[in-house]
Structure 1
Amino acid sequence: MPFDDDLPSSAPKDSSETSGLRRGLTNYGDKGFSLFLRKAFIKGSGYTDGALEKPVIGIASTGSAYNPCHGNMPQLVEALKRGIQHAGGLPMEFPTISIGESFSAPTSMYLRNLMSMDTEEMLRAQPMDAVVLIGGCDKTVPAQLMGAASAGIPAIQLITGSMLTGSHRGERVGACTDCRRYWGKFRAGEIDGVEIADVNSRLVASVGTCSVMGTASTMACIAEALGMTVPGCATPPAVTSDRMRIAEETGTCIVDMARQRRTIDKILTPAAFENAMRVLLAIGGSTNGIVHLTAIAGRMGLEVDLAALDRMSRETPVLVDLKPSGTQYMEDFHDAGGMTTLLRELKPLLNLEALTVTGRTLGEELERGEPAFNQNVVRPFLQPIYPQGGIAVLRGNLAPGGAIIKQSAADAGLMEHEGRAVVFENMEDLAARIDSDELDVTPEDVLVLKNIGPKGGPGMPEAGYIPIPQKLAKAGVKDIIRISDGRMSGTAFGTIVLHVTPEAAVGGPLAYVQNGDRIRLSLSNREISVLISDEEMRRRSEARPVVIPTGDRGYHKLFLQSVTQADTGVDFDFLQATTLNGAVPRT
């Protein structure tokens, strides 16, 4: 009987194991009626009984007029549906919120957890045997992976892809490292208003994510390293036929995942996270990548150990020649063989037995990949762009919970430095004084920005890329040490210490740094310290106790009540998985 809630005898009887339209039936006290009602309404869209008996594949669509990074969404969905239908599945597209990096206030990071909750709840609420998550812009991929990890069904990530590069007066340019470089020239008076307006129309040549190794490209590479995409998904530009073919292949793969019940917990294992950490270091990836990886791992009951990351960094060189650590762009990385080329260079350091969404191991996929060929984007292991991983972990009395520096995009001459603190209490203070001729600052000083962490921002804005004070920029200064409890864009560069933990807004040591304090940065010792005594730090904290920010209503209130620190992923505490005894195993 078509509306009998009994399944075939070979199928599991537990309601949590049912498939297709029978998954998650609304409880009216009569399962048969629930299925009858569901099928009646969906038939209003023209579906036949035959179509409705196929594996149901959800498509989490994140297209938005505010998100040009996802501007190719209609074409991706079309190709994806084609693959799903060819493999015998029923594609069901549905929307979730979309986060466009340049259009999200106060910061896209503030909304990442909301998007993860939206994704998780829609995966739970709607009947689907598996889901394809379409994302690309910085916070969308981690949000989707976090939500899918919590929901637990078979899932696969489809990346939207990077934009094409443009040309400005004969120079190849692309967002957003070149955005920052040209804006720095404009602030320093090296180019005029006419040229900055001209380059503004050249930096973004098509829809898609940033064309350098920013956070979007980093998360694309990490998703593939985790085994959460079909091979080759990370690098094809958004507007190419390669990207469309990847979408169709993704559709075929997800139907197989649904039939085999290849759930996300089989992919997101400790071995997979270790592989992703290796890749993050080898690509000179965004510092945001470690926050997002930590949050995704936390949804699986795993902890990313910063000490382990730093140990890996000492033995994993930067191999990919992309801005901001190198010179080239994502389309060049794709032409060089993409992740397959990189993973082969990293092969001795990888867990090759890690399972991927295809049902094959990472090692098996590398054997099936395109043969190696001569190229100049991915360097040989012994001829790296930078001898260690892109990210180093710092500790000291200024950051007892850790801090991060992107060493591959910093000034080597500033890596062992002691200087005078020039302190900004918050973003408003920074905006008011950074370009003042009265600002007491020299190139040897250390800029300190407080209260831009998870709670202080709120949402940990990318304001850690503190601009060079204008009077120094006009004097030709290109870099200065900068320290904050916030983040910076993966497209940014400079000697910048980020993610200082605990943040100032919750009473971390950063809150008590004063103008004129001496600060020491030592990369060799992995140290970031303020040179005052513990007694003086206690005296300052007692004299000016911190009032932790709270919210009045809605999501703002929930965020400030629940958000964790950078070292645990800036996720909500109630969304992180734990083991039975409450401990969280390390990766």
Structure 2
Amino acid sequence: MTSSVPRAKMKAHDNKEDATMRSQGWYGGEGRDPFIHRAWMRRGVPDHAFDGRPQIAIANTASDLTPCNMHLNEVAEYVKQGVWEAGGVPVNLPVVSLGETLVKPTAMLWRNMAAMSIEEMLRANPIDAAVLLGGCDKTIPALLMGAASVDLPAVVVPGGPMLNGYFRGERSGCGTGVWQLSEEVRAGTLPAEEFERFDKQMVRSKGHCNTMGTASTMGLMAEALGMTIPGVAGTPAPDSRLLEAAHASGRLAVELAREQRTISQVITKESFHNAIIALAAIGGSTNAVVHLLAIAGRLGIDLTLEDFDRIGGAVPLLVNLQPSGSYLMEDLFRAGGFLAVLDQVTDLLDPDANTVLGQPLTSFLGGHTVWDRDVISLRENPLQDEAGIAVLRGNLAPRGAVIKPSAASPELLTHTGRAIVFDSIEDFHARIDDPDLDVDASSVLVLRGCGPKGYPGMPEVANTPLPPKLLREGVRDMVRISDGRMSGTAYGTVVLHVAPEAASPGSVLGLVQDGDLISLDVPNRKLELLVSAEELEARKPAYRLVSEFAKADRGWQQLYIEHVQGADTGADLDFLVGSSGSEVTRESH
């Protein structure tokens, strides 16, 4: 990673009125309405702010209740400086922010709502381009989904990861360390008091999770899609180079508005090809699958689960970061950054995929030094030969399920065991610690009722804790299967996003019973319930399962349950698929 960021080639502009600016539909011309729009926006803004200069919205997800994004107000100030310098007018636009660690029942329930609100605010206001400030897991996907639906010019500034965490003198990543150490507490090998003292060592600075979790992954995915200035994603939040990049992104947003280079001109099917390659090479979060499918859906791009396996299945793992490895995001940046990783797989990337700078992503590759080969492996010596997200099919998941082989135990990738079924996360918590639970290391833990409709919102609960009696025997991984998600910071042999979910009519997942044999065969992409079709035809979902499905009679939850699609298509709302553009059809006065 160099100390500077690529600059847009800024064209000379005389700053005279530009009638092509979308904002001139509000501010341009004479009469009552333009007068009202200008008058209410003055508040110390100079007269020439309304002469056709690009109006740049800073879609800002800063919130004290989204701790990972708390610093984005500072980032926004540097964006503003860049916008003014380039001749534009910056306007701060706070948008819905979702804090992954705080929001109940799950932030995923509101990703689509956040995207919808962002879309409507960008469309409703006099905005010519947007700078999208996100960090925590759902904020970058929601920003990209909403902005893609409006199809304005836009650029992403990821908020960046926090500094490395430590425990007992060794690196310990937020999220991953929690999963590891909490299991040691349950096993009786770590005192609870010592675990409690871990928090200040784990979260040492501003920024999002420092593992290759969903937040880090989606920041890098934004860059792989061409939506950041190349080289920016992965910059640690406390690093001054992030503020430099924010300034440059503000300047670039003005140029994007003048060029009218919209998101649909940047993100194409080829862009998703590159994102899938990158996702495998970095050992990224399985949640990226759901988010990329949803972003593609907003743009009307035909992206499927099969594309993830077809494109990324044979890509080597090159990044040695937790939860698939040993290091953290600060180390990745120090070792050469995301572009140094992409250098290793340039031949696999699509050379036509564009960036916000108007040049192909591959044009920024070549010559990026890997400074620490223990953090970033060279292509000829990968951490794993094939590390892409694996898509499984079979009678248990006819519409697909996913698993992250790089975070799984190799010996469990081919496994047959008897099912231990939990009909909700509450059922799981009530029984998993029972010493009389009929479970052994070969069992398959099945957690259902956690899909988009069933929960609702598809929570990150699939990486379930193991039974204490097995932990005491030294067991640290088991095959787990769920229609829910797991944190990108988590690890284990966990089959996720089973579709159709248990709450969907005809779901085989909803028919599994204790003792049924389940066969997992990741090399051959199979997930099978070893029960005859005749037996399954005679079964009905258990009352305990059905009684736990989400029920809502008002508000967002009702709208969500009625319209959410399956995980296999991105879990977006059916009426939000496809871009509807930026046109405002009614006058305001």
Q: Under a length normalisation based on structure 1, what TM-score does the superposition of the two structures give?
A: 0.92
C-alpha displacement at 1:371, in angstroms? Answer: 5.5
Q: For 1:8-59, what per-residue CA distance to the aligned partner results, in whole angstroms no more than 9, with x for missing partners?
A: 99966xxxx5433x23579xxx97311100111111x111211232211000
Superposed, which structure 2 residues align to 1:63-102 within 5 Å? 63-102=62-101
* 1:497 maps to which of 475, 478, 495: 495
From the superposition, tell whether residues 398 and 184 of structure 1 become closer, same or farther in structure 2 (CA, over 3 Å).
same
Larger CA deviation: 310-319 vs 128-137: 310-319
Q: In structure 1, what is the Cα distance between the partners aligned to 2:74 and 2:579?
A: 39
AA matched with 1:378? I
AA matched with 1:130? A
Q: Which residue of 2 aligns with 1:574?
A: 575
From the superposition, tell whether residues 560 and 25 of structure 1 become closer, same or farther in structure 2 (CA, over 3 Å).
farther
Q: For 1:313-370, what per-residue CA distance to the aligned partner results, in whole angstroms no more than 9, with x for missing partners?
A: 3321111111111111101111122121011111001012211001111122225x75
Q: For 1:102-157, what per-residue CA distance to the aligned partner results, in whole angstroms no more than 9, with x for missing partners?
A: 01111010010011011101100111110001001000000000000001100111
Q: Which residue of 1 aligns with 2:437?
A: 439
Number of corresponding residues: 562
Counterpart secondary structure, 1:399: coil
C-alpha displacement at 1:73, in angstroms? Answer: 1.3
Larger CA deviation: 538-547 vs 32-41: 538-547
Q: Does 1:208 align with 2:207?
A: yes
Q: In structure 2, what is the Cα distance between the partners aligned to 1:357 and 1:486?
A: 34
C-alpha displacement at 1:533, in angstroms? Answer: 1.0
Q: For 1:372-423, what per-residue CA distance to the aligned partner results, in whole angstroms no more than 9, with x for missing partners?
A: 6564322111211111124111010000000001111101111111101000
Is this contact kept in 2: 1:506–1:546, CA < 8 A?
no
Is this contact kept in 2: 1:221–1:234, CA < 8 A?
yes
Counterpart secondary structure, 1:560: helix
Q: Which residue of 2 aligns with 1:225?
A: 224
Q: Which residue of 1 aligns with 2:25?
A: 23
Q: For 1:493-531, what per-residue CA distance to the aligned partner results, in whole angstroms no more than 9, with x for missing partners?
A: 001000000000113110000001000001121111110
Q: Which residue of 2 aligns with 1:280?
A: 279
From the superposition, tell whether residues 314 and 473 of structure 1 become closer, same or farther in structure 2 (CA, over 3 Å).
same
Q: Which residue of 2 aligns with 1:105?
A: 104
Q: In structure 1, what is the Cα distance between the partners aligned to 2:542 and 2:189?
A: 45
From the superposition, tell whether residues 495 and 373 of structure 1 become closer, same or farther in structure 2 (CA, over 3 Å).
closer
Larger CA deviation: 249-258 vs 547-556: 547-556
Q: Under a length normalisation based on structure 2, what TM-score does the superposition of the two structures give?
A: 0.92
Structure 2 residue ranges without an equivalent (≥5): 1-14, 581-589
Q: Which residue of 1 aligns with 2:12?
A: none
Is this contact kept in 2: 1:24–1:125, CA < 8 A?
no
Superposed, which structure 2 residues align to 1:72-471 within 5 Å? 72-366=71-365, 370=368, 375-471=373-469
Counterpart secondary structure, 1:396: coil
Is this contact kept in 2: 1:69–1:100, CA < 8 A?
yes
Is this contact kept in 1: 2:173–2:209, CA < 8 A?
yes
Q: In structure 2, what is the Cα distance between the partners aligned to 1:11 and 1:78?
A: 26
Q: In structure 2, what is the Cα distance between the partners aligned to 1:104 and 1:52?
A: 40
Is this contact kept in 1: 2:564–2:574, CA < 8 A?
yes
From the superposition, tell whether residues 273 and 313 of structure 1 become closer, same or farther in structure 2 (CA, over 3 Å).
closer
From the superposition, tell whether residues 171 and 543 of structure 1 become closer, same or farther in structure 2 (CA, over 3 Å).
closer
RMSD: 2.1
AA matched with 1:383? N
Q: In structure 1, what is the Cα distance between the partners aligned to 2:305 and 2:58?
A: 34
Q: Does 1:514 align with 2:517?
A: no
Is this contact kept in 1: 2:149–2:579, CA < 8 A?
no
Larger CA deviation: 313-322 vs 239-248: 313-322
C-alpha displacement at 1:259, in angstroms? Answer: 0.8
Q: Does 1:557 align with 2:555?
A: no
Q: In structure 2, what is the Cα distance between the partners aligned to 1:244 and 1:539?
A: 62
Is this contact kept in 1: 2:162–2:237, CA < 8 A?
yes
Q: In structure 1, what is the Cα distance between the partners aligned to 2:21 and 2:330?
A: 43
Q: In structure 2, what is the Cα distance between the partners aligned to 1:456 and 1:542?
A: 13
Larger CA deviation: 310-319 vs 391-400: 310-319
Q: In structure 2, what is the Cα distance between the partners aligned to 1:78 and 1:241?
A: 13
Q: In structure 2, what is the Cα distance between the partners aligned to 1:373 and 1:519?
A: 45
Q: In structure 2, what is the Cα distance between the partners aligned to 1:10 and 1:196?
A: 61
C-alpha displacement at 1:559, in angstroms? Answer: 0.4
From the superposition, tell whether residues 370 and 382 of structure 1 become closer, same or farther in structure 2 (CA, over 3 Å).
closer
Is this contact kept in 2: 1:550–1:561, CA < 8 A?
no
AA matched with 1:576? V
AA matched with 1:472? L
Is this contact kept in 1: 2:21–2:257, CA < 8 A?
no
Counterpart secondary structure, 2:365: helix
AA matched with 2:405? Q
Q: In structure 2, what is the Cα distance between the partners aligned to 1:510 and 1:242?
A: 48
AA matched with 2:162? M
Q: In structure 2, what is the Cα distance between the partners aligned to 1:565 and 1:155?
A: 28
Q: In structure 1, what is the Cα distance between the partners aligned to 2:469 and 2:365?
A: 52
Is this contact kept in 1: 2:334–2:371, CA < 8 A?
no
AA matched with 1:299? R
AA matched with 1:270? K
AA matched with 2:210? S
Is this contact kept in 2: 1:119–1:144, CA < 8 A?
yes
Is this contact kept in 2: 1:390–1:409, CA < 8 A?
no
Q: In structure 1, what is the Cα distance between the partners aligned to 2:201 and 2:374?
A: 26
Counterpart secondary structure, 1:505: coil
| Sequence identity percentage | 46
Is this contact kept in 1: 2:460–2:485, CA < 8 A?
yes
Q: In structure 2, what is the Cα distance between the partners aligned to 1:266 and 1:174?
A: 37
Is this contact kept in 2: 1:119–1:148, CA < 8 A?
yes
Is this contact kept in 1: 2:269–2:302, CA < 8 A?
no
Q: Which residue of 2 aligns with 1:34?
A: 33
Is this contact kept in 2: 1:235–1:334, CA < 8 A?
yes
Q: Which residue of 2 aligns with 1:585?
A: none
From the superposition, tell whether residues 31 and 190 of structure 1 become closer, same or farther in structure 2 (CA, over 3 Å).
farther
C-alpha displacement at 1:481, in angstroms? Answer: 0.6
Larger CA deviation: 270-279 vs 538-547: 538-547
C-alpha displacement at 1:167, in angstroms? Answer: 2.6
Structure 1 residue ranges without an equivalent (≥5): 1-7, 580-587
From the superposition, tell whether residues 327 and 374 of structure 1 become closer, same or farther in structure 2 (CA, over 3 Å).
closer
C-alpha displacement at 1:308, in angstroms? Answer: 2.5
Counterpart secondary structure, 2:121: helix
Counterpart secondary structure, 1:103: coil
From the superposition, tell whether residues 546 and 538 of structure 1 become closer, same or farther in structure 2 (CA, over 3 Å).
farther
Q: Which residue of 2 aligns with 1:59?
A: 58
AA matched with 2:47? D
Q: In structure 1, what is the Cα distance between the partners aligned to 2:81 and 2:283?
A: 35
Q: Which residue of 2 aligns with 1:476?
A: 474
